[in-house]
Amino acid sequence: MAEVIDGNRIAREVRAEIRAQAIELKAKRGITPGLAVILVGEDPASKIYVGRKEKAAAEAGFLSREFLLPAETTEDRLREIVAGLNSSPEIHGILVQLPLPKHINPDVVIETIDPRKDVDGFHPVNIGGLFTGRPGHRACTPLGVIELLDRSGIAIEGREAVIVGRSNIVGKPLALMLLNRHATVTICHTRTRDLAAVARRADILVAAAGKAEMVRGDMVKEGAVIVDVGIHRIPDASKKSGFRLVGDVKFDEVAPKCSWIAPVPGGVGPMTITSLLLNTLKASRHAFSPPSPLTWRARGWSCVATRGPMRACKTIRLPSLPGQRISTPSSCRWCWRSRWWTRWMRPCGWPTM
Ligand code: NDP
């Protein structure tokens, strides 16, 4: 019988670490990670998700702002709100809850979000970063899957991974993340011929097709690792609620054959919001970091520190005075971390969000 990957336990562990890091960030640099969640309309499921995200952010010690907008909000108004949040220094992560009402183009709205604050990882810049293996925010559910595998000690490198589903929010980004981690990746979809045969090749099989219990026992190789992403409510008179949750995997048939399984509920689900918190924490750090020493050098920025009462430094853009050096790394509140940064960044002017 497979070992169950306990997503609830792992999510609790990661959230405790996030909270500790948020407290440290506040103590050392006076920054509280801030998350803004925007919901347009009255969709009940979306309302529940937004409520959960806000609660998780508050529990992690983040600043959490919720924007509940009427369904008739125009695309221009929504973009205005996003643009305002882009320039708000207290907000580091912006999430626009999808789906949006039909009259709003989600692509246009997502492209309005500053990529550094795009904690859902849907902005083309972040998708491009994923494609090319460069830093950036990653989509939350796939990021949660990788975290589950890592924290369960499951090796990814060199293994054959098969993903059933090619959506932009789960299948495709997860395929790239696994590829970046040196797995051999196959993506399946509705036109895949002989899905069962392809799935049986998998050392790691991820089911993200949105079809209840479609992955059956005969589609799984002995000893494979199974990650079930799908979530479905099916009627069940024996339950008080009248329904039960199942995934895309027929658990009873598959569990006896595999080595590990992330079940539904209690597998990937709790990790998605946890990834959102991780991305927001990361954004709050990066928002206050200089781009890169090389960029600053290329722009001719230099920095000169004074020992003023606030331990802030006076920064002057002085290409004409090259080689000015800060005397002590701690003399500027933005410069505490690295001598290298202190030499080339523009301490008091950063950030200019
Ligand atoms: P989409 O409907 O956007 O995509 C489903 C994908 O699965 C499509 O690429 C589709 O192929 C493929 N597919 C559907 N049926 C079959 C089949 N019979 N054989 C092979 N491939 C098939 O779904 P999402 O990616 O948004 O979500 C997938 C599931 O994950 C859903 O159940 C959703 O509720 C759940 N989910 C869970 C999250 C969590 O936090 N745990 C977060 C996000 C989603 P094609 O492209 O050819 O149509």
Residue 135: the pLDDT is 87
Q: Is pLDDT at 343 greater than 80 in this prediction?
A: no
Percentage of residues of the chain with pLDDT beyond 70: 81
Same domain, 10 and 116: yes
In a mutational test of the pocket of ligand 1, which residue from 48, 166, 188, 275 has the highest number of ligand atoms less than 8 Å from its CB? 166
In this structure, the answer to whether residues 100 and 176 fall within a common structural domain is no
pLDDT value at position 288? 54
Specify if 194 maps to a domain.
yes
> What's the gap in Å between 229 CA and the centre of ligand 1?
8
pLDDT at 134: 86
Last residue of a domain, one of 259, 286, 313: 286
> What's the confidence (pLDDT) of residue 286?
75
Same domain, 81 and 12: yes
Residue 252 designated active-site = no
Within a domain: 135:
no
Q: Are residues 107 and 183 in the same domain?
A: no
Write out the two tokens for 258.
């595999």
**Cα(122)–Cα(115) distance, rounded to whole angstroms?**
9
User: Is 6 an annotated catalytic residue?
Assistant: no
**C-beta of 52 in contact with ligand 1 (< 6 A):** no
Give percent above pLDDT 90 in the chain.
Answer: 75
Residue 130 lies in a domain: no
Is 50 exceeded by the pLDDT of residue 318?
no
Residue 287 is predicted with a pLDDT of 64
pLDDT, one tens digit per residue, over 134-178 is 889 999 999 999 999 999 999 999 999 999 999 999 999 999 999
Same domain membership, residue 221 and residue 158: yes
Q: Are residues 282 and 324 in the same domain?
A: no
Q: Are residues 177 and 240 in the same domain?
A: yes
* Residue where one domain finishes, among candidates 256, 286, 316: 286
Q: Integer distance in angstroms from the first to the last C-alpha of the chain?
A: 52
| pLDDT(315) > 80 | no
Residue 307 has what pLDDT? 32
53 is catalytic: yes
Given 114, 120, 203, 228, the catalytic residue: 120
Tens of pLDDT, residue by residue over 206-215, are 999 999 999 9
Please indicate, yes or no, whether residues 105 and 170 belong to a single structural domain of this protein.
Answer: no
* Residue 96 in domain: yes
Q: Which domain holds residue 37?
A: 6-121+274-286
| pLDDT(60) > 80 | yes
Last residue of a domain, one of 237, 269, 301: 269
**pLDDT higher than 60, residue 297:** no
Per-residue pLDDT at 165: 98
CATH number for the domain that contains residue 65 = 3.40.50.10860
The count of domains in the chain is 3
Residues 152 and 259 in one domain: yes
What is the DSSP code string of 115-176?
Answer: GGGBTTS-SHHHHHHHHHT-SS---HHHHHHHHHHHHTT---TT-EEEEE---TTTHHHHHH
pTM for the structure as a whole? 0.84
Is there a domain that residue 110 lies in? yes
Render pLDDT for 5-24 as a digit per residue (tens, 0 to 9).
999 999 999 999 999 999 99
Question: What is the pLDDT of the chain when averaged over all its residues?
Answer: 84
Asked if residue 133 belongs to a domain, the reply is: no
Same domain, 74 and 151: no
Same domain, 260 and 151: yes
Domain shared by 260 and 318, yes or no = no
Task: Give the strand order in the sheet containing 63-69.
Answer: 63-69, 34-40, 93-96
Asked if residue 353 belongs to a domain, the reply is no
pLDDT of residue 1: 77
Of residues 134 and 4, more confidently modeled: 4
The radius of gyration of the chain's CA atoms, rounded to the nearest angstrom, is 23
| Neighbour tally for 192: CB within 10 Å | 16
Is residue 128 assigned to a domain?
A: no
Note the pLDDT of residue 30.
Answer: 85
Over range 102-118, report the average pLDDT: 96
Higher pLDDT, 235 or 303: 235
Q: Among residues 6, 21, 53, 228, which one is catalytic?
A: 53
Q: Which two tokens stand for residue 9?
A: 């336990």
For ligand 1, whether the C-beta of 144 sits within 6 Å is no
Whether 53 lines ligand 1, by a CB cut-off of 6 Å, is: no
**Region 281-287 average pLDDT:** 86
Do you know the residue count of the chain?
353
